Structure 1
Amino acid sequence: MADKAALWRERLAACRASGLSTAAFCRGHALSYAQYMYWQHRLGSDACGLVPVRVAAPAVSATPLSVEVVLGDIALRIHGATVSEVVALVRGLSC
């Protein structure tokens, strides 16, 4: 019985590490879902349906915008550019 428990502990750990749902893991490894659930309950293991994720910072918006800079009699108008494009244009200006 100890060998079976060890085997199922390995399977439960592999399921958690796989990132798959329990059902998908069982299908992919030709395991009975009911038997998997039995061993999960018996060994007190967490379900592998929940996987920790890291949330990435939101990407910089690529929404086009319009910018107008007026210095005295000179006006600079930029239409339909992204923030990074506007920054690149302003950095490229020389006085």
Structure 2
Amino acid sequence: MARPIVLISDLPNQFEIGNFTKINLHHLTTKINSLDKKVGPLVGLSYYQQQMFRTAKGLPVQITDSAWSSLGFSFKRRGLSALIPQRG
């Protein structure tokens, strides 16, 4: 439930009042299948880290299907160590 809350910050309130029906989590892609297979887990984790960072700065969540922004965010923040597996 943590990932949907990153995208919809008032999700618990919506559940409580019965005002929520569906959560759409997007599949992020570079549009290069071989690259997606290699960096898929990194992309997913980076995307949600990026959105938490945006929220903390008072910026809106950025909904997208493109993995490139998340990859750029990860490499900008962590350099090549972004390629080392992390726990989600």
Q: TM-score, normalised by structure 1?
A: 0.24
Q: Which has the higher strand share?
A: 1
Q: Which has the higher helix share?
A: 2
Q: TM-score, normalised by structure 2?
A: 0.25
Which of the two has higher C-alpha Rg? 1
